[in-house]
Structure 1
Amino acid sequence: MQEITVEELKRMKDAGEDFQLIDVREDFEYEMSNLEGKNIPLGGVLIETDKISKDKPVVVMCRSGKRSAMAIMQLEAQGYTNLYNLQGGILAWADQIDPSISVY
């Protein structure tokens, strides 16, 4: 599984690179704090594959990196090859990039 660090994600965002960010946390988690990605909770990932790009890099994130890894395994079984797991999830983002965001 391909992975990306929060530092790499910040660089991609700052540079305005063309990629998609998918947040697989539950709605209430996303509402508490998010990085402006598309919210598709893990349970709906396979139902909503039409909303996940196949032609550009897709960074998948969650709270710590475990749910996003599960989502990537499910999507790779459907033929996706452009997915990157955000190491440490939003907890790592809060720790290393933006301590002002709410985490739980």
Structure 2
Amino acid sequence: TMQGEGLSLDLPQAPPPVKQMTVQELAENLKNGDVTLVDIRAESERARAAIEGALVLDRPTMEKLEAMPKDSRMAFLCHHGNSSMGAAEYFRKQGFTDVNNVAGGIHAWSMEIDSSVPTY
């Protein structure tokens, strides 16, 4: 949707907006193998707390993700869910249609899903 003074246009050809995925939804998607989870945090942060199976956002992963079908479900993770929004937005702009940002990040995962993952 484009908006300006008195103007609001829906652009049907534009990819849908990035969705916020709760950690509960992420856990269900991971259990079912329905999502590619990408952790955008620095190595030092991932060493402290991680979700098993998450991909690290590096050049080889970028190339792998960019080659995936445009309707692939992706979820991007950071510490609290703010920084990962930029990575999610990048893939949305590449034409991916099921792009998700993990609301609350690894912190919410630790608090609500897996308390064995340390908070920091």
TM above 0.5, one fold? yes
Aligned CA distance change for structure 1 residues 48 and 9 (closer, same or farther; 3 Å): closer
For residues 56-75 of structure 1, the aligned pairs below 5 Å read 56-75=72-91
Under a length normalisation based on structure 2, what TM-score does the superposition of the two structures give? 0.72
Q: What residue in structure 2 maps to residue 89 of structure 1? A: 105
Q: What residue in structure 2 maps to residue 98 of structure 1? A: 114
Q: What residue in structure 2 maps to residue 77 of structure 1? A: 93
Residues 47-99 of structure 1: CA deviation (Å, up to 9, x unaligned): 85312133421111111001111111222222222211100000001111112
Task: Letter of the 1:91 partner, please give it.
Answer: H
Q: What residue in structure 2 maps to residue 32 of structure 1? A: 48
Task: Letter of the 1:50 partner, please give it.
Answer: E
Residues 9-48 of structure 1: CA deviation (Å, up to 9, x unaligned): 112223x23321100001111122111200116xx6xx85
Identity %: 30
User: How far did 1:101 drift?
Assistant: 1.0
Q: What residue in structure 2 maps to residue 51 of structure 1? A: 64
CA distance in 2, matches of 1:38, 1:72: 14
1:21 aligns with 2:37: yes
Aligned CA distance change for structure 1 residues 78 and 13 (closer, same or farther; 3 Å): closer
Aligned residues: 99
CA distance in 2, matches of 1:80, 1:11: 21
Under a length normalisation based on structure 1, what TM-score does the superposition of the two structures give? 0.82
The structure with the largest alpha-carbon Rg is: 2
Q: What residue in structure 2 maps to residue 2 of structure 1? A: 19
Between structures 1 and 2, the one with greater strand share: 2
